[in-house]
């Protein structure tokens, strides 16, 4: 069912409704920033994005698993090396737990080096009769409830770019420069994780891996020459929410003539900006990067098939990942009809599960939190439904941090409501801490194996 589409250009989104747009007070300042960003070097190259698409094609075809993970929102106040390293450690640990437990290769994508913008349910906030713009992430404004802080400031986009550059630079160094070497697998286990059940389980795997490496070496295999033992492919992603920013990074690939959004390898459309005729769908349909589409409980099977058709008109496997975030009490009812509709339309996609965004609750204290058991339940049901339908449960999309935070309840070391205040540092949604993340990875490895 090919949909007739108007000609796409990097600016064609501007004729559409832009959901979730900040109320920029000074459009000429915005224009100046856009012009400046457009002269900057790209963050990623077309060839890298194409390579990720081909890895994701393996996922779409049931030969690999996608792990997409990172912060809900990156912060301008937290740009140091340690936070980046620790997030990477957890993701590498999860990937090892998943691969070791299931034998399935894992494609690693961070919500990192550009994940600065947040869609909001309430676009304004009113306290004591004063109404200000909601906090929309550091790429737009700042958190304190003060007029100056909340006023959208386009120069923040420049800062977001520079922080993305330095984050990505470090990630490239870590993943290609020795830190991700499998012989260092023990070093990814952080001090506060080592003593937990998950940490011990991870240490046991790390011992096994070291033994296997020693064995191969003793057999005369030249391990130094096996680059896959010493470096990992790690890709970046973020929600493509602030379109003036994204447009500034659109470049035409000199090899293929295709357009790429060079702000990240993979970009996704959030559940609040996925209108078929809206600006975000219009913008992303024209760039060749692999795309994600969040699928929330209000998505109908028909709408989904239409969106897949618009976003992946060539039906190339790896092009589109459907990130389902239905909520643990909705999956059983809503997921199967969505999968069946896409399958019956012959559409080739990656199915991933985001068990975070449909399971946010308020604790008695008013803190936003998530129960590990709800998160796990959504993932387990996601695997169950795919198993029944004979389709491939291809990925996990989660919000985590490498810090020992107390933002989600249960799992790992069993955070309880009274612990939430101990170390609650997220700027937006509650994230899994390192041991909860590892706990989840071990369980997902079991689902994968079955």
CB of 351 to ligand PEP, least distance (A): 15
Total of chain residues touching Co ion, rule CB under 5 A = 2
Instruction: Give residues 6-65 in contact with ligand PEP (rule: CB under 6 A).
Output: none
Q: Residue 325 binds which one of ligand PEP, Co ion, none, with CB within 5 to 8 A depending on kind?
A: ligand PEP
Tokens of 432: 């899994």
In this structure, the chain runs to a length of 450
Cβ distance 274 to 280 under 8 Å? yes
Assigned token pair, 74:
């990156």
- Helix extents (H) in 297-330: 301-311
Reduce the DSSP state of residue 108 to 3 states and report it.
Answer: strand
CB nearer to ligand PEP: pick between 188 and 235: 235
DSSP assignments along 389-414, one per residue: HT----EEEEEB-SS----SBBTTTT
Report CA-CA distances (Å) from 225 to 63, 179, 206, 207, 222. Answer: 25, 17, 21, 22, 6
Rounded CA separation 434/431 (Å): 9
| Binding characters for ligand PEP, 307-346, by CB under 6 A (x = yes) | ------------------x---------------------
**Minimum distance from CB of 262 to Co ion (Å)?**
24
**Which of ligand PEP, Co ion, none does residue 119 bind (CB under 5 to 8 Å by kind)?**
ligand PEP
Applying CB under 6 A, among 153, 246, 271, 309 the residue interacting with ligand PEP is 271
Q: Which of residues 410-449 bind Co ion (CB under 5 A)?
A: 429
Going 16 to 21 to 25 to 28, the CA torsion angle's sign is: negative
Minimum distance from residue 357 beta carbon to Co ion (Å): 6
How many CB atoms within 10 Å of residue 159?
Answer: 15
> Of these, 50, 285, 294, 431, which contacts ligand PEP (CB under 6 A)?
294
**Helix 434-449 with 372-389: angle, nearest 10 deg:** 20
Q: Is 72 exposed, middle or buried, given 0-12, 13-18 or 19+ CB atoms closer than 10 A? A: buried
69 binds Co ion, rule: CB under 5 A: no
Per-residue contact track with Co ion, 72 to 111, x per CB under 5 A? Answer: x---------------------------------------
**Shortest separation between residue 29's beta carbon and ligand PEP, angstroms:** 27
List interacting residues with ligand PEP (CB under 6 A): 72, 119, 239, 270-272, 294, 296, 325, 357
List interacting residues with Co ion (CB under 5 A): 72, 429
């Amino acid at each position: 069912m090919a949909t007739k589409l108007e000609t796409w250009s990097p600016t064609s989104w501007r004729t559409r409704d832009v959901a979730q747009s900040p109320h920029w007070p000074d459009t000429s300042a915005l224009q100046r920033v856009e012009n400046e960003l457009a002269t900057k070097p790209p963050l990623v190259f077309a060839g890298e994005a194409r390579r990720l698409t081909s890895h994701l094609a393996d996922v779409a075809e049931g030969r690999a698993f996608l792990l997409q993970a990172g912060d809900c929102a990156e912060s301008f106040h937290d740009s140091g090396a340690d936070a980046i390293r620790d997030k990477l450690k957890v993701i590498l640990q999860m990937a090892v737990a998943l691969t070791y437990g299931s034998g399935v290769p894992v494609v690693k994508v961070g919500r990192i080096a550009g994940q600065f913008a947040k869609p909001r349910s309430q676009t304004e906030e009113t306290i004591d009769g004063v109404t200000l713009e909601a906090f929309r992430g550091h790429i737009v404004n700042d958190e304190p409830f003060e007029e100056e802080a909340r006023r959208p400031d386009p120069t923040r986009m420049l800062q977001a770019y520079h922080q993305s550059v330095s984050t990505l630079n470090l990630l490239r160094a870590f993943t290609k420069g020795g830190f991700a070497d499998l012989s260092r697998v023990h070093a990814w286990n952080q001090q506060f994780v080592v003593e937990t059940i998950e940490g011990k389980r991870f240490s046991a795997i790390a011992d096994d891996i070291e033994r296997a490496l020693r064995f191969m070496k003793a057999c005369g295999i030249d391990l130094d020459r096996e680059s896959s033992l010493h470096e990992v492919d790690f890709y970046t992603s973020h929600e493509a929410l602030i379109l003036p920013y994204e447009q500034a990074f659109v470049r035409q690939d000199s090899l293929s003539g295709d357009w790429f959004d060079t702000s990240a390898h993979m970009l996704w459309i959030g559940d609040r900006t996925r209108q078929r005729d809206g600006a975000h769908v219009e913008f992303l349909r024209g760039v060749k990067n692999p795309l994600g589409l969040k699928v929330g409980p209000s998505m109908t099977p028909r709408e989904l098939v239409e969106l897949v058709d618009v976003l992946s008109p060539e039906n190339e496997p790896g092009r589109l990942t459907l990130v389902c975030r239905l909520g643990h009490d909705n999956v059983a009812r809503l997921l199967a009809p969505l999968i069946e509709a896409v399958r019956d339309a012959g559409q080739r996609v990656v199915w991933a599960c985001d068990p975070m965004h449909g399971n946010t609750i308020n604790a008695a204290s008013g803190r936003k939190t998530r129960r590990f058991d709800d998160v796990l339940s959504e993932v387990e049901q996601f695997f169950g439904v795919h198993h029944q339908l004979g389709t491939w449960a291809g990925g996990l999309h989660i919000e985590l941090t490498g810090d020992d935070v107390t933002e989600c309840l249960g799992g790992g070391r069993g955070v309880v409501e009274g612990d939430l205040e101990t170390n609650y540092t997220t700027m937006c949604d509650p994230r899994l801490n390192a041991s909860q993340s590892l706990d989840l990875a071990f369980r997902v490895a079991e689902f994968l194996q079955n």
